[in-house]
Structure 1
């Protein structure tokens, strides 16, 4: 069985997290665990990052989460065949008994993040158990769904957060006790993060975690498209089935606050000077000195006073702020809370992309990139425009999500994100 129950757990109106038999790399069959991991599929900076990861080890997880072939169907079939081959060859092995997995990330500055990985029962946003905070792009959901259908697997976990009461009890107590034991493995990836994983199989521990989480609500921090994909595929399979659950990492942000960073936009077909000229007098435009850290400081200062963006791609930086009230009144929908109407992402998409620049939100025109320097470098190399964003505060995200209001897609980047390739979940038995 892929999932397993534990001792009696109270009826739950909140999170329903169950153990599963994890599919994990055999350390003796790969060069190193760090060489087979990857950032989440949508964080890999293509094509440079993808090629780097593919060459790191022939069994790197990107060959499953971002298979490369000429057509989507061929890519997905290739990923499914690769997964089956790695399992048959023993490169990936399924754990002998169901478990929840405690996962720890530690960066080189001493920041520790711990959470628990499990199979979470899926729920619709209307149920108020798992709250999305961003819109999704239908073509991405369709792409991820096709890959998941082909592989019958959860290839990487979503990142969800919840707010505990700050006490060392329940799930927190189990996580801390478990982290004091020797881990299943420990590895350090090239980004400087060390990763450790433990299996929790004791029935009493499993019950303690599940009982604690049963009354809690979670926010999707990273993985909106994967969550939407899981919901789509659940509807395609008669219940009960393994498709009723999705693979998640749950982190208590009362104990381990996440970092919130911006996701930047790369406008492939819009040169910087053309972008600036189109603004007219609808924004204030100022040149700011580099290098990049100094320009980002100027963006931060401007963002504290209102909507602000940093444009780059022509070898310098241009601070764009103080949008015209008339422009905002004409372009930003008025039927949403003020916190939503004043988001930088809202103003960018409603006023700039849709109205001023008239750029369709499709991959041919817009790329979403997490790495700031990479966004600027690609814009300079390709002759496009990098639109650098300032991050949104977590409290704003959670407040809007609790109201059922979703932000424009790719508005935030919570982290650190779980590495892909540490534990997978199969769905075919």
Structure 2
């Protein structure tokens, strides 16, 4: 049942002809979020509906391992730039981004945030994924999807963003395949930029999405400074800053897909420690049963290629044995129990063998088509996350998904002078 992944090869630093300097990064320890404008690349107007409507981008395949994958992605990106599929703005700007639709509404500032800003992470990361994204940054010299940052209290910023949307025409306006409408506006008024920057400089931000991308950007910066390069665009990362008082973030679950686990063995082992009940009917019935069970304790849906089972009432002895090393506020979280007591202790699954999928439908489809096991779970509560954060703890990897996430094709930030 074990499956060993080959160690991913580290790629040589491809910094090319960037200007050199004998300096090291200054850890500024910003009290808030430090932002600046940048010259963005966006999809040409004649290609917008075709490409952004279906979330097709050459740079969002960064999860694939290996140097070849990163090189191919970077080559496609450069080809889009040469062909005019991606067009650059003439001057640096900040941008207003808005989306509305069935996944939720959101309006925020799309900008470059300094890596030493006061950005508060909430979950752990997988080192191999950080390395994979860093590798793509080395070769492609670009940021990937923007970080999703939540902040509270930016009244002047909110007023300015609203005025831009009300008074200007968007440079991109597209209806995506999932029913979400996405718009992008330029904010190039220098006085407004300075006012917003001043306000955000006094506020901290919660890192809702992008933990791996942020650490990859920091790693890439360290490599450049170690190689003799001074301050530059690599000191910042693209980010969407959202005032959560105006656009509250949603909180959803992140399901686990275990493609190399034998379903019979997994269920046999789980039955020794959980109450197991087989379910029938459509996925909506399964999810309803899951949420009805969650208030009474840990509950999970185990989906095999042909069947689905509800796991509840875990044996306290299993939890005690598997969670002895886990800090108190995390011990009751269902994702912590699943990762430690079930996947590691019962099923002997390594982190590198797990695929994470926010969509229950896609997780089930993957198992039905390719085999293995999917484990569906409920999202943690805001109280649980706040309790862990207040104790200075980070949640297990991919415990929850904050959203709605920004469209990956709306704007690209390159890391070049």
**TM-score tier after normalising by the smaller chain length:** 0.7 to 0.9
Q: Quick one: which of 47, 67, 77 aligns to 1:73? A: 67
Q: Which residue of 1 aligns with 2:242?
A: 251
Q: Which residue of 2 aligns with 1:159?
A: 148
Q: Which residue of 1 aligns with 2:290?
A: 299
Q: Work out whether residues 87 and 93 of structure 1, in 8 Å CA contact, stay in contact via their aligned partners in 2.
A: yes
Query: Deviation of residue 171 (structure 1)?
Result: 1.1
The answer to whether 1:357 aligns with 2:350 is: no
The 5 Å alignment of 1:378-389 reads: 378-389=366-377
The 5 Å alignment of 1:19-418 reads: 19-28=37-46, 30=47, 32-33=48-49, 35-36=51-52, 60-61=56-57, 63-66=58-61, 72-108=66-102, 111-123=104-116, 129-164=118-153, 169-181=155-167, 182-238=169-225, 239-334=230-325, 336-338=327-329, 340-362=330-352, 365-418=353-406
Moved more, 395-404 or 142-151: 395-404
Q: Which residue of 1 aligns with 2:21?
A: none
Q: Deviations over 1:236-288 (max 9, x none)?
A: 12341111100011111121112211111111122333212102432121223
Query: Deviation of residue 13 (structure 1)?
Result: 1.0
Query: Deviation of residue 144 (structure 1)?
Result: 0.6
Q: Aligned equivalents of 2:49 and 2:383: distance in 1? A: 35
Q: Work out whether residues 38 and 421 of structure 1, in 8 Å CA contact, stay in contact via their aligned partners in 2.
A: no
Q: Which runs of 4+ in 1 moved over 4 A?
A: none
Q: Work out whether residues 113 and 236 of structure 2, in 8 Å CA contact, stay in contact via their aligned partners in 1.
A: yes
Q: Deviations over 1:17-60 (max 9, x none)?
A: 111111112113x2x34524665xxxxxxxxxxxxxxxxxxxx4
Q: Aligned equivalents of 1:207 and 1:406: distance in 2? A: 33
Q: Aligned equivalents of 1:418 and 1:395: distance in 2? A: 25
SS class of match (1:197): strand
Residue 233 to residue 401, structure 1, CA distance change in 2 (3 Å): farther
Q: Aligned equivalents of 2:73 and 2:376: distance in 1? A: 34
Query: Deviation of residue 84 (structure 1)?
Result: 2.5
Q: Which residue of 2 aligns with 1:45?
A: none
Q: Aligned equivalents of 1:67 and 1:404: distance in 2? A: 30
Query: Deviation of residue 67 (structure 1)?
Result: 7.2
Query: Deviation of residue 68 (structure 1)?
Result: 11
TM-score (norm 2): 0.86
Q: Aligned equivalents of 2:358 and 2:63: distance in 1? A: 21
For structure 1, which runs of at least 5 residues remain unmatched after alignment?
1-10, 40-59
The answer to whether 1:17 aligns with 2:35 is: yes
SS class of match (2:296): coil
Q: Aligned equivalents of 1:399 and 1:200: distance in 2? A: 37
Residue 34 to residue 414, structure 1, CA distance change in 2 (3 Å): farther
Q: Aligned equivalents of 1:116 and 1:213: distance in 2? A: 11
SS class of match (1:148): helix
Query: Deviation of residue 14 (structure 1)?
Result: 0.6
SS class of match (1:118): strand
Q: Work out whether residues 132 and 401 of structure 1, in 8 Å CA contact, stay in contact via their aligned partners in 2.
A: no
Q: Aligned equivalents of 1:173 and 1:141: distance in 2? A: 36
Q: Aligned equivalents of 1:317 and 1:280: distance in 2? A: 14
Q: Aligned equivalents of 1:335 and 1:375: distance in 2? A: 27
Moved more, 81-90 or 173-182: 81-90
Query: Deviation of residue 319 (structure 1)?
Result: 1.0
Q: Deviations over 1:353-384 (max 9, x none)?
A: 1111111121xx32212221121122223331
Query: Deviation of residue 108 (structure 1)?
Result: 4.3
